[in-house]
Every structure is written in C-alpha cells, then in structure tokens.
Amino acid sequence: MSYTIQGATGPWEVVVGLEVHAQVISRSKLFSGAATAFGAEPNSQVSFIDAGFPGMLPVINRECVAQAVRTGLGLKAQINLWSRFDRKNYFYADLPQGYQISQYAHPIVGRGSVEIELSDGSRKTIGIARLHLEQDAGKSLHDQHPTKSFIDLNRSGVALMEIVSEPDMRSPEEAGAYLAKLRQILRYLGTCDGNMDEGSMRADVNVSVRRPGEGFRTRCEVKNVNSVKFVMQAVEAEARRQIEVWESGGEVEQETRLFDVARGITRSMRSKEDAHDYRYFPDPDLPPLVLDPAWVEELKASLPELPDERRARYIAMGLSAYDAHVLTLERETAAYFEEVAQGRDPKLAANWVTGELFAALNRMKRDITDPPVSARHLGELLDLIADETISGKIAKDVFEIMLETGEAPRAIVESRGLKQVKDSSAIEAAAAQVLAAHADKVAEYRAGKEKLFGFFVGQVMKAMQGKGNPALVNEVLRKLLG
C-alpha cells in the first residue's frame, strides 16, 4: 500500500529527495592544519587559510579524502578517480574567503544506494546521486551583544560531505528511515559522528507532490533540518502546504523554505528569482584530485562490517530479525553483544542484552558505552546458567545485585550461597516437608487433580529459596507423589 495524502480533490503522492551535509571526522580541516574539535573557545581553531587571508594556499587533507572514499564505498557507490574542486562565490560575513571551495561539476563519489527498512518490515532501495567534498562556513553569533554580531571561524574550512539522494522517497516515514540509515552507516564507518544536535549532520529536504501516476512537479527545498523527527514533520507539513496551493488553483513556485519547529509549518526563505549566481569555476589553487586505484582498494579492504551485513550475520547465527535489528542499530551495542556472545549461545546472549540489560539501561538512563554491567561480567553470568551453577531465575536476582554492587557474578553466587542444589537427598527432604504440610492437596492430587503438580513445584522451590535444580525437583516430586 503506497502512502498518499487525501486532499479535497483526491489523493496526492509525496516525492522526497534529501541533500545531507555530514561533517567529516578528521583531526584537521579540509585544506588547513587547524583543529576541528567541537565546543572549543571561539576563534581558537583558525588558520590563516580558514580566515581567508590573501595569498594563502590550500592543501588537501589526505584523511578527509580517505573518509569520503570510505563513505562512498559504504554507500556501494562509484568512486571517481578524477575529481575537481570549484569555487562557489558569494558574500557573507561568516565566509571570509568570499567563496566556498566545493566539488560542483566533478564530485569524488557518483551513484550509489542505501537500503531502508520500514515499520511493516518491507525494504526499499534509495538511490544516491552523488557525494562531494566541500568546506563548511563559519558561524555568526547574534545573541552575544545587544547591537553587535560576532563571528566564530572555528567551523570555517571544516570538511563536509554533501550526500545527495535521488528523489526516491515517497512518504515521511521513508525520508526519516533514509536519514536514520545514512547516519547509522556513517557512524559504523567512523566517517561522521552523526550528532545532529551538534550540527554534525543536517538535511536539506526537497519535497514535491503529484497525482498518483503523474511525472514530477515543482519541488521546494526545506533547509537545515536537524533531526529525523523534524525531517518527517517537515515533509508532511510542506506536502500539505503544496497540496493546498495546487488544489486552490495556484502553482507551487520553486523556492527555499525553513521549517518552523514550534509551529510545525514551513516558511519561505527565498524564491527562485533571488537564487544566487555563484559563478562557479575551477579553483586555480588546487590541482584536480587524482586517486590511485590501489589506494582505493586498500581502503575498501579495510572497511568495517556494515549494519546490513552484520544484521544478516546475526540472523544466520539464529537470532530473530527483531533482535538482529535492535542489536545492530548502534555499533557500540553490537560490540557489547558480540563480547557477551563470544563462545556462548548467541540466542541466550541476545535475550539477556535486549531484555535485562536494555531494561536496566532505560531504568538507569545509562548508555551502552557506559554500561552498569560489563560485557565480561554478563558473559560470566551466562556461563553460570549454562553449567547449571544457577537457574535462569536466580540469574535475574544475581543480575540485580550486579547492577547494585558491580561485583562479579561468581563472587555474588559464592558469598550469598545462591548455588543451585543438585543434591537429591536435600531436595527430597524439602519435598517431603512440603507434601506433609499440604496433605489435603496431596489427596486431591492423587484423586486426579493433576494441575496441582505445579503448586508443589512452586512450594518446594520456595522452601529452597529458588535454588533447587528444576529438573530434579520435578523428578523427586513425581517419585514421591507417584
């Protein structure tokens, strides 16, 4: 069932394409040696190049190029061995050079694809049109002084990847799933931290609407949307606005808009008539970027396992599609799970991580990177279950004590005497007492009320503080009652 929005005159389809700016993880900037750390003192990470001093020569940062290539490979995309940097000319206070260096006509990465998963379990492939490298601009600060604006150039010259999708998405959900998946892939690759609240990743959302079966209509671009949720809201708000324009006999004009988060609507920022003429031309300070195919092969060989492949591997290990999905959402979660599962039953490990551990993280508002129980300790707990030192039920109690005290599971079991009792004479003694105390129920059982068996098991377990070996308790009771 494809997604449509019902207008006054019938259903409308939504068409979405995203242009995502992703800040490259690298110690220094795209063309200078200045640092890139977030949150530094304003203007403390600015070289003469980033400040646009005349006569400075940019030199390309090899690591930024490697990151773009890795990202291209992760997006199953064409790597262009020859690419070029152009100058995009415009004036703005946060752009001291008077132009941005960007790959315009010849990007480093060409066509690729991203597979998304939707809530109904279906999968869809979204085309990538291109990825190019460019410089970020500085930042204007308007809230520091009543009459003055300040400029912070720390971000000036930081490497960005602009990742442009094909107009392949057809609903707010697909647009959100695409952005989330792209972010996941970049984080797995280690090429962008994906921190959208810090501005490391932001999306320009292109939206148009059409009658089902029609060709594309004019689109509008909603600039700088900074969360998955806001992308979904912006798509829906902008689509509804356009439907109203078309249905009232008007025509959607191509323009750049902004999403007003508080009011949930988009507002016009500039129309196509105000569109800049950027006077692009090849940057004369930079030679074309030519890549050695052997170097690209090396980068490919050293690529980490990506989320789709990891998910498939977990399913092949016997995990459910759901467990495989949630365990691979974050690379750190997958790493934790793998340490727990190493040499153990993967399904048992998955149950404990997605069950007890996730619940504890939620409850304690902790992150998997700072877990209240280490993967090593959780693994040891599973060993105690596997070798029948404790039952699964007691293991949950031990886990709670681990959360509180940070102690190792074996030490907890020893010091608190939680070891499972496998001695049948001890179990027989406990069972005999229980049966003697419930002679009436024993009589009922023997008269045919067989479901009382569970009651006896429960009573014996209770008498033994949950430490009786369940199989033995069953066996003993069957013998005594039989």
Stretch in the footprint of ligand ADP (CB under 6 A) among 10-18, 34-42, 71-79, 360-368? 10-18
Nearest approach in angstroms of CB 120 to ligand ADP is 23
Whether 182 contacts 164, CB under 8 Å: no
C-beta atoms surrounding 144 within 10 Å? 10
Nearest approach in angstroms of CB 216 to ligand ADP is 4
17/468 with CB nearer ligand ADP: 17
Among 167, 199, 372, 470, binds ligand ADP (CB under 6 A): 167
The owner of tokens 């460019």 is: 134
Stretch in the footprint of ligand ADP (CB under 6 A) among 162-170, 194-202, 315-323, 437-445? 162-170
- The DSSP secondary-structure symbol of 334 reads H
18/324 with CB nearer ligand ADP: 18
Strands 255-260 and 220-225, bridge-based pairing: parallel
Q: Does 193 bind ligand ADP (CB under 6 A)?
A: no
Per-residue tokens: 267: 């507002």
Q: Does 166 bind ligand ADP (CB under 6 A)?
A: yes
Stretch in the footprint of ligand ADP (CB under 6 A) among 13-21, 103-111, 180-188, 417-425? 13-21
Q: Does 61 bind ligand ADP (CB under 6 A)?
A: no
Whether 409 contacts 384, CB under 8 Å: yes
Binding mask 199-238 for ligand ADP (x = CB under 6 A): -------xxx-------x--x-------------------
Nearest approach in angstroms of CB 242 to ligand ADP is 10
Among 4, 5, 7, 19, binds ligand ADP (CB under 6 A): 19
Among 12, 13, 17, 103, binds ligand ADP (CB under 6 A): 17
Whether 474 contacts 454, CB under 8 Å: no
Q: Does 165 bind ligand ADP (CB under 6 A)?
A: yes
Stretch in the footprint of ligand ADP (CB under 6 A) among 9-17, 317-325, 351-359, 389-397? 9-17
Whether 42 contacts 154, CB under 8 Å: yes
Q: Does 162 bind ligand ADP (CB under 6 A)?
A: no
Per-residue tokens: 36: 């890139």
* Gyration radius (Cα) of the chain, Å: 31
Nearest approach in angstroms of CB 166 to ligand ADP is 5
Nearest approach in angstroms of CB 218 to ligand ADP is 7
Residue nearest to ligand ADP (CB): 17
CA distances from 209 to 6, 77, 204, 290, 425 (A): 12, 28, 17, 40, 77
Nearest approach in angstroms of CB 260 to ligand ADP is 20
Q: Does 18 bind ligand ADP (CB under 6 A)?
A: yes
C-beta atoms surrounding 437 within 10 Å? 12
Q: Which of residues 70-129 bind ligand ADP (CB under 6 A)?
A: none
DSSP H or E run through 202: strand 201-210
Task: Dihedral sign for Cα 414, 415, 419, 423, please.
Answer: positive
Q: How many angstroms separate the CA atoms of 371 and 361, rounded?
A: 7
Query: How many residues make contact with ligand ADP (CB under 6 A)?
Result: 14
Per-residue tokens: 287: 């030679």
The owner of tokens 């690759």 is: 189
List contacts with ligand ADP (CB under 6 A). Answer: 15-19, 164-167, 206-208, 216, 219
